[in-house]
Amino acid sequence: MPDGPLIVQSDKTLLLEVDHPSAEQARRSIAPFAELERAPEHVHTYRLTALGLWNARAAGHDAEQVVDTLIEYSRYPVPHALLVDVAETMSRYGRLQLVQDPAHGLVLRTTDQAVLAEVLKSKRTAGLVGERVDESTVVVHPSERGHLKQVLVKLGWPAEDLAGYVDGEKHPIDLSPVTEPRTPHETAAPWEMRPYQAQAVDGFWHGGSGVVVLPCGAGKTIVGAGAMAKSGTTTLILVTNTVSARQWRDELVRRTTLTEDEIGEYSGTKKEIKPVTIATYQVLTTKRKDVYTHLELLDARDWGLILYDEVHLLPAPVFRMTADLQARRRLGLTATLVREDGREDEVFSLIGPKRFDAPWKDIEAQGYIAPADCVEVRLTLPDTERMTYATAEAEDKYRLAASASGKKEVVEQIVAQHPDDQVLVIGQYIDQLEELAEHLDAPIITGSTTTKERQRLFGAFREGEISRLVVSKVANYSVDLPEASVAIQVSGSFGSRQEEAQRLGRIMRPKADGRTAHFYAVVARDTVDQDFAAHRQRFLAEQGYAYRIVDAEDLTAPTP
């Protein structure tokens, strides 16, 4: 019998044989430092990256542990050069440290004088540091703490930030042992944090700042509430939209000792600053005459904690402002740390390293998120639409394919197969969605729907008063619809992996009767729609979700 489940290759890929008796143990052991790339049926592919190894180092894992793990689980001898490279990459983290010096304030200190000389030689660090204190130490301008960390990551020498945090303004926050009812049909009930949520809070608090990665529906808001209770300070929470802001407020009132009077909303419609303030990314990034007029919110109170919901969506201006907030504890929450723009290194340097990560299938196995059946439904364009597509300009091809007329009948057939389920129809193009809403006799939510109307419709959907809801991308993130069990995606943001994960996440809350969730992606065959669908599915495939492919003509067959 083969010795181990892992094949370690010199190109830094790790191949894990899923059916091996030790596969699960090996997967858990390599998860802190290896990034999962692909997870088809039998062999999963992981990759060793500098960022992954630095994340592991920041979480307290040393090179010896990583090397021992690779050797223990490898089927064949591990390439020596790879082991050397792992050790040297991990040793780069922490050779530079940001610390508070009693005499000089914030300084950059090194255990390797040549490294300090190298980074100071770079033009990128000019203006970020001050006078040399000695051969191993240089003064850092406090306002440049974040910018310097960004630069050092890009130079390949990530700094360990040990400079600490200001305490911030104290404000008592405790978790409430009994939830307040959310609807008239609910009653108050005792609850406690799930084990992985408690581990996530502890991991964040021990590290001081960083990112927690949990599946959609796994209770990231509870982790945020737990971190706020640990901090016991005023808190600024940044969220994607106003609906999300109000869901955060409602959940904090239910789960903590905070009252509505202690929680302010800072959005397009309200400008409240209270001990806990929830602001939207949109209002923070609003410019007037080339000035970000709402950034004074950051200085409005002595915040002790800044919490970033859906941290993978941070817009560039929020990165820039976060660079100035390094003295505050920072917690990022996300279901997937995938950024299509490749700026994961900025999340690492400005928010902090990944402090906790739970694979989707692990949480599903514990019963905390619903199992999901993922289906790609392929339809063939009729000849006239096929010719229009074939002769279209490149920039028009996706819209033509994604809005194929045949998708309307396909959606109708899928909805008919789920007469007793709460169904979401999700898409990118408003005219397509309006046509579907009319065809299904279902209400629609788009960007132009008022916040009040969105809340009314989401509430009616939660209560079962309506069972069909058509939504644009405004419902991709931070929308809590526990009883939604079927999602039908008709179009998306091209090949966005994070959007695909978030859309599946809309139906992942565990169902009262243990039902499986169903996620359908309706795709036009032989077009860029099919190509983008393959790319969109990559993250979910990495998490262990396999898509079945069915022909639109076969939809009359019963769903398994």
Judge whether 73 lies within some domain: yes
Summarised one tens digit per residue, pLDDT across range 389-402 is 999 998 899 899 99
Domain end: 334, 364, 394, which one? 364
Q: Is the pLDDT of residue 215 over 90?
A: no
Q: What pLDDT score does 83 carry? A: 96
Question: Residue 406 phi/psi, 5° resolution?
Answer: -65, -15
Query: Hey, what are 485's tokens?
Result: 């069990």
Q: Is the pLDDT of residue 557 over 60?
A: no
Q: Are 246 and 303 members of one domain?
A: yes
Judge whether 457 lies within some domain: yes
What residues contact 468, with CB distance under 8 A and at least 6 apart?
415, 423, 425, 440, 441, 442, 443
Range with the poorest average pLDDT among 144-158, 180-194, 444-458, 509-523:
180-194
- Split at pLDDT 50, 70, 90, the class of 473 is confident
- Split at pLDDT 50, 70, 90, the class of 186 is low
Q: Are 312 and 436 members of one domain?
A: no
Query: Hey, what are 275's tokens?
Result: 């001990």
Q: Are 224 and 77 members of one domain?
A: no
Q: Is the pLDDT of residue 137 over 80?
A: yes
Residue keyed to tokens 């990944």: 354
Percent of the chain whose pLDDT exceeds 90: 54
Query: Hey, what are 32's tokens?
Result: 């802190």
Judge whether 172 lies within some domain: no
Q: Are 411 and 339 members of one domain?
A: no
Judge whether 271 lies within some domain: yes
- Split at pLDDT 50, 70, 90, the class of 559 is very low
Q: Are 202 and 278 members of one domain?
A: yes
Question: Which of 314 and 237 is assigned the larger pLDDT?
Answer: 237
In which order are the strands placed within the sheet that holds 329-334? Answer: 263-266, 276-280, 235-239, 305-308, 329-334, 210-213, 354-357
**Do residues 472 and 430 touch, judged by C-beta distance below 8 A?**
yes
Which 3 state secondary structure label does DSSP give 379? strand
Q: What pLDDT score does 459 carry? A: 86
Judge whether 169 lies within some domain: no
Q: Kindly state the average pLDDT of the residues 148-156.
A: 94
Q: What pLDDT score does 558 carry? A: 45
Judge whether 221 lies within some domain: yes
Q: Are 195 and 343 members of one domain?
A: yes
CATH number at residue 253: 3.40.50.300
Report DSSP state, residue 423.
E
Q: Are 154 and 242 members of one domain?
A: no
Domain end: 301, 332, 364, which one? 364
- Split at pLDDT 50, 70, 90, the class of 454 is confident
- Split at pLDDT 50, 70, 90, the class of 479 is low
Measured CA to CA, the distance from residue 493 to residue 495 in angstroms comes to 6
Measured CA to CA, the distance from residue 521 to residue 411 in angstroms comes to 10
Q: Kindly state the average pLDDT of the residues 278-292.
A: 83
Measured CA to CA, the distance from residue 272 to residue 447 in angstroms comes to 23
**Do residues 214 and 335 touch, judged by C-beta distance below 8 A?**
yes
Summarised one tens digit per residue, pLDDT across range 61-100 is 999 999 999 999 999 999 999 999 999 999 999 999 999 9
Q: Is the pLDDT of residue 228 over 70?
A: yes
Measured CA to CA, the distance from residue 221 to residue 242 in angstroms comes to 15
Measured CA to CA, the distance from residue 263 to residue 259 in angstroms comes to 7
Measured CA to CA, the distance from residue 315 to residue 65 in angstroms comes to 36
Q: Are 418 and 400 members of one domain?
A: yes
Domain end: 348, 364, 380, which one? 364
Judge whether 170 lies within some domain: no
pTM reported for the whole predicted model: 0.83
Q: Kindly state the average pLDDT of the residues 228-249.
A: 93
- Split at pLDDT 50, 70, 90, the class of 476 is low
Q: What is the 3 state secondary structure string of 11-74? A: CCEEEEECCCCCHHHHHHHHCCCCEEEECCCCEEEEECCHHHHHHHHHCCCCHHHHHHHHHHHE
Q: What pLDDT score does 2 carry? A: 52
Judge whether 526 lies within some domain: yes
Helix (H) or strand (E) holding 361: helix 360-365
Please provide the average confidence, as pLDDT, over all residues in the chain. Answer: 88
Measured CA to CA, the distance from residue 4 to residue 21 in angstroms comes to 9
Q: Are 134 and 266 members of one domain?
A: no
Q: Are 268 and 405 members of one domain?
A: no
Q: Is the pLDDT of residue 208 over 90?
A: no
Measured CA to CA, the distance from residue 244 to residue 254 in angstroms comes to 15
Number of domains the chain is built from? 4
Q: What pLDDT score does 205 carry? A: 94
Question: Which of 491 and 115 is assigned the larger pLDDT?
Answer: 115
What residues contact 233, with CB distance under 8 A and at least 6 apart?
167, 168, 169, 170, 171, 303, 304, 305
Query: Hey, what are 116's tokens?
Result: 């300090």
Question: Residue 348 phi/psi, 5° resolution?
Answer: -60, -45
Inter-CA distances, 122 with 92, 98, 147, Å: 17, 18, 14
Q: Are 307 and 348 members of one domain?
A: yes
Measured CA to CA, the distance from residue 376 to residue 407 in angstroms comes to 12
Q: Are 123 and 250 members of one domain?
A: no
Inter-CA distances, 91 with 49, 87, 114, 215, Å: 14, 6, 14, 31
Measured CA to CA, the distance from residue 197 to residue 200 in angstroms comes to 5
Summarised one tens digit per residue, pLDDT across range 108-131 is 999 999 999 999 999 999 989 999
Domain span holding position 255: 178-364
Summarised one tens digit per residue, pLDDT across range 339-356 is 666 778 888 889 999 898
Q: Is the pLDDT of residue 152 over 90?
A: yes
Measured CA to CA, the distance from residue 378 to residue 368 in angstroms comes to 31
